[in-house]
Structure 1
Amino acid sequence: MAIDIHAHCVPDGLVSALAAGGRRLGVEVLRAGETTRVQFAETVTAPLEPSLSDLPARLAAMDRTGVTRQVLSPFIDLTGYWLDEAAGSAYCRLFNEHMAGTVAQAPDRLSALATVPLQSGPAAAKELAYAVAELGMVGAEIGTDTGRGQLDDKELEPFWAAAAELGCLVFIHPNAAARTRFPYFLGNFVGNPSDTTVAAARLMFGGVLDRHPGLRICLAHGGGFLPYQIGRLDRGFHAYGTDWGAELTSAPRDLATRLHYDTVLHSIESTRLLIDLVGAEQLLLGTDYPFEMGDLDPLSTVAAIPGLDERERSLITHGNAEFLLGL
């Protein structure tokens, strides 16, 4: 048994639906030869890789790598945060209904995370509740940046409250690293983990994790640089407390043990450090399918981690996900 909680998807039929009716929402499909992109207001996505929508290829890849179930998450460029609230809400509903349709084609192999309109905390809470109750989704994927603000903004309190009450997973994935900010694709190599680190630190120091202790949050890419720098965050908390406007009441090291982390770290030493910090109970298997920066042999990765007993390996490969997602 192996459950992959970090696997991206462009749901079946979504691009066609956007091409036919997306302009009323401010969304346009851009095609140039074999390349397809989506434009939200003034923001254009990266090219949509065909493998994001190819279900037979996805299932075949799962079979090759021993993955029993994928938890599909939206291709992070497709959040639609750049639309206004009404258009963003309508877009998310369209996206989620198509995602549910993809899951319905292989329900024994697939589950899904919703996308929600972070343009508004109440709107995001409403869509999350709908996706979980009506579409059978197991939570939501959100970006590290809302396009208008940050994850600890008070405007998003209704969303965090709803996620805690529902007990569903919130998977936080970087989306803010400007592709033109760094050369050499460092926006991915360095920018992505940096954005995750900042987002997690804001949830800590902004008091979100203390106000909503029931939240089930998973950080992509092993939490970015957070595990390695947790000592610095702890030192800052003990040195300054709530100076500088901080609202946390728990030490960052303690808060880090409440979070969950995927295994997409590309380093056995880094993964071992993460386990030593938070425990095997907090790790979830991930691949970042279908991208080259992913780990497409995740079971071998877990098998290579030194010092794990069989119970801990089972927790990481599937047990923790089964518990968190109610699978």
Structure 2
Amino acid sequence: MASEPPIIDIHTHVYPSSYISLLRSRVTVPYLLNPSEKGASPRLIILPSDDDPSLLPGSRGRPIDPSYTDIGVKLKFMSDHRITASVISLANPWLDFLPPTEGLKWAHMINDELESTCSRHQGKLWAFATLPLSASPSDIVTEIDRLRSLPHSRGIIMGTTGLSNGLDDPNLDSIWAALEESKLLVFLHPHYGLPAPLYGPRASEYSHVLPLSLGFPMETTIAFTRMWLSGVFDRYPELKLLIAHSGGTIPFLAGRIDSCVQHERHFPEHTDENGIKSRGPKRSLDQVLSNNIWLDAVVYSETGVKAAVEKVGQERVLFGTDHPFFPPLDEGAEKWASVETNLNAVTSAQDKAGSRAILGANAIELLGLEINPREGGG
């Protein structure tokens, strides 16, 4: 039978055993809360709002079941959803919380464990490594340089706070330079959300809906916009950035952001190669979006996929699942509604060629993946 078009999942998370050991050793956020019920999964207390003993244990943090830690469960999930290969990455909160003296040690262990996992599953798994962002810039650059020796490393995952002052921090310049020179893709992913008071005094009634659905996208949008405004892409024009969750609200707000910049008189005025005058960063927002930026398709709607494609181009949108988050609503179900929603959004928004590009071909080209085509499968 003819081989099926490949499906590549570039947004899929795992907590390696070394990272679980780190979390178990802690008593402050983030840490693992042991279950009170026999057979229940431990819960990751990941946000300060979850670190409240007055809350019922089952409502604090998120349960860490085997789908977060067992690579066999990941591979079965891939098989169930006909996913050819995955690029696994550590889920938030990464290593940002560590003391500066400990970050590099844990980054070595976690990245080496990810590499070992990928090497046992050749052609199925690659990795986005994690950086010790609480360490000194020189230590971080050392780890970036070391990642070149890891055959399955295709980039790094990074949160929005950088070295704690955001992604427009000048102290990140040596790190951007190393990432640009190494040609490693930066996977920008939210975690910290927006200030809790914005969600109002009734926020606890809504569980994590407001932070996840609105806080994460706006956090990502603000982080990227600060990078652009500060001239990061002017200084590092070859830096490659993959933005989670279809870029947050960037596809919808790019025009508004650009208009606001043009009307801010304190920005310097530039003339581009076509003689057009503009304000703000030397490279326009559209130039950066069409040359430096890729978006995943974890947006759960046809409208969102269309907006992503219109803003950055069909060849710059990549499929992802966000596994193991948003599991099936029905206990025991093999197919995940969240994954099927993303698949259907891509195939509804694009023609056959466009769907094939987003579902797999774009990731294969961008990351230089060597895969074995799947046979048959219907």
Q: TM-score, structure 2 length as denominator?
A: 0.77
Equivalent runs, 1:77-226 vs 2, <5 Å: 77=93, 79-119=94-134, 120-134=136-150, 136-146=152-162, 148-177=164-193, 180-181=196-197, 182=199, 183=203, 184=206, 185=208, 186-226=210-250
Q: Deviations over 1:217-276 (max 9, x none)?
A: 1000000011100011111222226639x9621221222223100001111012112211
Equivalent pair of 1:179/1:187 in contact (CA under 8 Å): no
CA shift at 1:313, angstroms?
Answer: 2.3
Q: CA RMSD in A?
A: 2.9
Out of 354, 360, 369, which is 1:318 matched to? 360
Q: Give 1 or 2 for the bigger CA radius of gyration.
A: 2
| 1:8 lines up with 2:9 in the alignment | no
Equivalent runs, 1:33-52 vs 2, <5 Å: 33=36, 34-36=40-42, 46-52=62-68
Relative CO higher for 1 or 2, CA cutoff 8 Å, sep ≥ 6? 2
Give 2:295's aligned residue. 261
Q: In structure 2, what is the Cα distance between the partners aligned to 1:82 and 1:222?
A: 26
**3-state SS in 1 of match to 2:98:** coil
Give 1:296's aligned residue. 339
Q: In structure 1, what is the Cα distance between the partners aligned to 2:45 and 2:142?
A: 25
Residues 267 and 134 (structure 1), Cα distance of their counterparts in 2 relative to 1, 3 Å cut: closer
Equivalent pair of 1:193/1:225 in contact (CA under 8 Å): yes
Residues 247 and 125 (structure 1), Cα distance of their counterparts in 2 relative to 1, 3 Å cut: farther
Equivalent pair of 1:100/1:137 in contact (CA under 8 Å): yes
Q: Deviations over 1:86-120 (max 9, x none)?
A: 21222212221222222233222111111101223
Q: In structure 1, what is the Cα distance between the partners aligned to 2:150 and 2:124?
A: 19
Out of 251, 255, 272, which is 1:227 matched to? 251
Q: Which moved more, 1:175-184 or 1:65-74?
A: 175-184
| 1:282 lines up with 2:352 in the alignment | no
Residues 82 and 304 (structure 1), Cα distance of their counterparts in 2 relative to 1, 3 Å cut: same
Q: In structure 1, what is the Cα distance between the partners aligned to 2:162 and 2:282?
A: 25
Q: Deviations over 1:265-298 (max 9, x none)?
A: 1110121122112210110111111111884124
Residues 28 and 277 (structure 1), Cα distance of their counterparts in 2 relative to 1, 3 Å cut: closer
**3-state SS in 1 of match to 2:148:** helix
Q: In structure 2, what is the Cα distance between the partners aligned to 1:202 and 1:233?
A: 11
Q: In structure 2, what is the Cα distance between the partners aligned to 1:166 and 1:147?
A: 20
Q: Deviations over 1:138-192 (max 9, x none)?
A: 1100011236210121111111111111111110000111695532220111000
The one-letter amino acid paired with 1:230 is: A
Q: TM-score, structure 1 length as denominator?
A: 0.88
Give 1:67's aligned residue. 83
Q: Percent identity?
A: 29
Q: In structure 2, what is the Cα distance between the partners aligned to 1:180 and 1:277?
A: 30
CA shift at 1:50, angstroms?
Answer: 2.6
**3-state SS in 2 of match to 1:148:** coil
The one-letter amino acid paired with 1:290 is: P
**3-state SS in 2 of match to 1:108:** coil
CA shift at 1:202, angstroms?
Answer: 0.8
Q: In structure 1, what is the Cα distance between the partners aligned to 2:194 and 2:257?
A: 25
Q: In structure 1, what is the Cα distance between the partners aligned to 2:85 and 2:142?
A: 27
The one-letter amino acid paired with 1:32 is: P
Structure 2: which 5+ runs fail to align? Answer: 1-5, 52-60, 269-278, 328-336, 370-378
**3-state SS in 2 of match to 1:83:** coil
Residues 309 and 135 (structure 1), Cα distance of their counterparts in 2 relative to 1, 3 Å cut: closer
Q: Deviations over 1:48-101 (max 9, x none)?
A: 343111222211111121210110011112x12122222122221222122222
| 1:271 lines up with 2:315 in the alignment | no
CA shift at 1:38, angstroms?
Answer: 6.1
**3-state SS in 2 of match to 1:63:** helix
Q: In structure 2, what is the Cα distance between the partners aligned to 1:36 and 1:94?
A: 22
Q: In structure 2, what is the Cα distance between the partners aligned to 1:313 and 1:274?
A: 13
Give 1:305's aligned residue. 349
Give 1:243's aligned residue. 267
Equivalent pair of 2:163/2:172 in contact (CA under 8 Å): no
